[in-house]
Structure 1
Amino acid sequence: MSSMTSAARRSFSARGAATAFAAALLALATACGVAPAAPLAPGTDATRTVATIKGEVQVPVRPQRIVVLNHALAGYLFHLDQPVAAVVPEFTDTEGVAAPAWADQAAAAGTVFLPWPADGFNLEAIAAQRPDLIIAGGLGFPFAQAEQVYDQLSAIAPTVLVPKTLQTWQQQLSFLAGDVFAAPQRYDELRAAYDARVAEVAAAITPPSKPSTVISRASSGKVYVLMDDAGLITLLTELGFEPAPLAQRNGAVPYTPGGDMFEVSPENAGVVLDPATIFVVPFDDPKQTVAALAKDPVLGRLPAFRNGSAFDLPQSALRADYDDTMELIDTIEQRFG
């Protein structure tokens, strides 16, 4: 009679539970009318080990169908020539729209948009795609939701959670290119193009009055300020601006753990937001522009607004990927060149 150690029994049980869960999801998706994708092609079972915040994950060397659970991460995968089978929309409970930078590639690849309810990812729809790899996490809401259902996602396919501590496109792309897809040379190429463009624009523009900061007002009226190490702050510094270290100066912490913004109350806004220049980026409402904030009884009295040194930046600047960042550099060159 054969024997099995307790560790082996636990491993066998875990694999069995994961397989049963994934099978149940796929069956449920089919019953609900979600057509499952075609099975994977043979010969795609070679894997590599990737160290993640959830431990080591065995990912396919040549993935065939990748599901991306953060719209902001999809562009990286297209730059790495990876097969993105499906991606969630940019915002919950909306129709998916491809970013201009990767729309053509998505159309050619047949990439589809998955439903993304505000209360969590649609696991049945994800399972119906028959992914062999799931890329999730990143900044903001997508990380929180993916972390909550990480075990369920891993039961569907190997899942890599991009850490929320990776605040810049450089950190995110370096992790995906180097650690996950073993293509560090592609990161090096894109980073070199970025560095060259930054140097070119920094030499051509005249930054406005110093110091500066970046704020964002939500549709709820809450005002947020970017943390000192946020990606946009890093870019502005490299372009010759002088962002004020407002988080450090005020002992501020992100409004959500691991986030990239802190909240400023109305009664403190006049004291905290004193830099000579303020950049305004919409949060969840594109109407929250400089013109709108200038009418606010508190914000409108800030030095930057009174002196005409408040400037709009596109919503994509807030948590910009590589393509968004390159477009933002063009915008800044046009405005201050």
Structure 2
Amino acid sequence: MRTPARRPALVSLLAAAALSTALAGCSSSDSSGDDPATAGSSGTADSRVVTTDQGDVTVPGDPQRVVVLNYALTGYLYDLGVPVVATVAEDTEHDGEFSEFWGDAPEEQGTGFLPWSMDGFDHEAILGAEPDLIVAGGVGLPAVLAAEEYDRLSQIAPTVLVGDGLTTWQDQFSFLAEDVFDRPEVYEDSLAAYEARVAEVRDAITPPPTPVATLTITADRTPYLLFEDMGLSQTLAELGLEPAPLVAGHGLPPYKPGGDMAELSTEQVGQLLPDVPTVFVTGFNADTADVASLADEPVYAALPAFEEQHAYDLPYWAVRGDYDESLALLDIVEQQFS
């Protein structure tokens, strides 16, 4: 699990009609402020125009109360020095906990956690946080819900969705740094540090046999296969751990539209993985599984990767790792294979 940290109280819910009226005009399509046609791609000193999959969105030039509706995106804003007034927990079943990689920023900024469920976000709670900007989208269920609720969210504050075509941390971080917050130098410095570290680790390790596959296992023991062209699979590929083209080769659908993994049956595990010499295992949103426990189950024990001891644990947070988590993952891979 992520290292627990002291949590601030939930952002108070302010549902007063006056506040609702004041914020309702902050739609992404609102033309009462800077006109994108005259402001240009960067807007004015007080605003910026961001091109998204939903169209152009006029956002504050220096936002002070940002709500983030995907936990996996929150770390980028701390890296950028952007004030986060509230975010959501990693999943709908657990209380929110600050990531160990966020340092003191959440407490210093007074970040709170907003409730959400499989059915959607709590719009009254979001309104109560008084955001001047909402950042959502990315990958997974929060992204699906944000797309469905985009119009309602845009009535509370300008809303930017990180597009589902941005499937690596580099894609997401660069979009937020360059397009949304106009802080490209932060991303450039981060990318340079990351690439230098990748080169160090790649030279230091003796990688296991490739190609590799990565499974994430839920608490109820349901296996999911990570897509080879997204997220963690691509981070491993940078280190020479090329992913097996199982999803593309077998036409496996995402577990939900816009998702980054395919749900497998036990039979599919036995059918798809015998030709994959190396398997990585993670939990899903928690340390829900590991190689040792899976090795007691016949379907996994029979896989060559398990028989030949080329099955390896990775932390659950690596599945949708942001910049800081991806850097930490490099250290883990270096330790495993040096």
User: Which residue in the other structure is 2:314 paired with?
Assistant: 313
**Can you give the 5+ residue segments of structure 1 that lack an aligned partner in the other structure?**
1-18, 27-43
Which amino acid letter does the alignment assign opposite residue 180 of structure 2? V
Q: CA deviation at 1:93?
A: 4.2
2:279 paired residue number: 278
Alpha carbons of 1:300 and 1:23: their partners in 2 closer, same or farther (altered >3 Å)?
farther
Q: Secondary structure of 2:117's match?
A: coil
Find the aligned partners of 1:267 and 1:105 in 2 and give their Cα distance: 45
* Aligned 1:285-324 pairs, distance under 5 A: 286-324=287-325
1: CA distance, partners of 2:263 / 2:88: 27
> Which deviates the most, 288-297 or 215-224?
215-224
Q: 1: CA distance between counterparts of 2:270 and 2:230?
A: 22
Matching of residues 103-182 of structure 1 within 5 Å: 103-182=103-182
The CA deviation at 1:24 is 9.5
Which residue in 2 is equivalent to 1:69? 69
Unaligned stretches of 5+ in structure 2? 1-16, 25-43
Q: CA–CA distance in 1 between the matches of 2:97 and 2:256?
A: 27
Within 1, Cα distance between the matches of 2:250 and 2:191?
A: 33
1:139/1:188 CA distance change after superposition, 3 Å: same
Higher relative contact order (CA 8 A, sep 6+): 2
Q: Could you tell me which residue of structure 1 aligns to residue 38 of structure 2? A: none
Task: For residue 210 of structure 1, report the CA deviation from its aligned partner.
Answer: 2.1
Is the contact made by 2:217 and 2:288 (CA closer than 8 Å) also made in structure 1? no
Whole-Å separation in 1 of the counterparts to 2:218 and 2:74? 25
Which residue matches 2:335?
Answer: 334
Q: Structure 1 residues 142 and 23, CA, compared in 2 at 3 Å: closer, same or farther?
A: same
Question: How far apart are the structure 2 equivalents of 1:236 and 1:312?
Answer: 13
> What residue in structure 2 maps to residue 237 of structure 1?
237
8 Å Cα contact 1:219-1:284 kept in structure 2: no
Please tell me whether the aligned partners of residues 67 and 133 of structure 2 are also in contact (alpha carbons under 8 angstroms).
yes
Pairing 1:258-269 to 2, within 5 Å after superposition: 258-269=258-269
Matched residue, 1:31: none
Could you list the per-position Cα deviations for residues 110-132 of structure 1 after superposition, in whole angstroms to 9, with x for gaps in the alignment?
Answer: 11122223332111111011111
Q: Normalising to structure 1: TM-score of the pair?
A: 0.85
Encode CA deviations 1:167-213: one digit per residue, 9 max, x unaligned: 11000001101111111121111000000000000000111122211
Change (3 A) 1:268 1:95: closer
- Kept in 1, the 8 Å contact 2:210–2:241? The answer is yes
What secondary structure sits across from 1:90 in the alignment?
A: coil
Return the letter of the residue paired with 1:260: D
Q: Shift of the alpha carbon at 1:214?
A: 0.6
> Contact conserved, 1:207 with 1:241, CA < 8 A, in 2?
yes
- Say if 2:66 and 2:131, in contact at 8 Å, map to a contact too: yes
C-alpha root-mean-square deviation of aligned residues, in Å? Answer: 2.1
CA distance in 1, matches of 2:269, 2:107: 45
Could you tell me which amino acid in structure 2 is paired with residue 23 of structure 1?
T
- Between 104-113 and 189-198, the greater mean CA deviation after superposition: 104-113
Alignment check: 8 A CA contact 1:93 1:118 kept: no
When the two structures are aligned, how many residues end up with a matched partner?
302
1:299 is displaced (CA, Å) by 1.8
- The one-letter amino acid paired with 1:250 is H
Equivalent position amino acid for 1:114 in 2: L
1:104 shift after superposition = 0.1
Return the TM-score normalized by structure 2: 0.84
* Structure with larger Rg: 1
Indicate the SS of the match to 2:190: helix
Partners of 2:218 and 2:288 within 8 A in 1: no
Separation of aligned partners in 1, 2:312 and 2:172: 27
Q: 3-state DSSP class of the match of 2:262?
A: strand
Structure 1 distance, partners of 2:185, 2:23, is 38
Shift of 1:327: 0.6
Q: Percent identity?
A: 50
Deviation for aligned residue 1:81: 1.0
Distance of 2:157 and 2:307 partners within structure 1? 54
CA distance in structure 2 between the partners assigned to 1:156 and 1:284 by the alignment: 29
Q: 1:324: Cα distance to partner?
A: 0.7
Give the structure 2 partner of residue 30 of structure 1.
Answer: none
Mapped contact 2:227–2:247 kept (Cα < 8 A): yes
> Structure 2: which amino acid aligns with 1:264?
L
Question: Residue deviations 1:257-282, cap 9 Å, x none?
Answer: 22211222222322211311100011
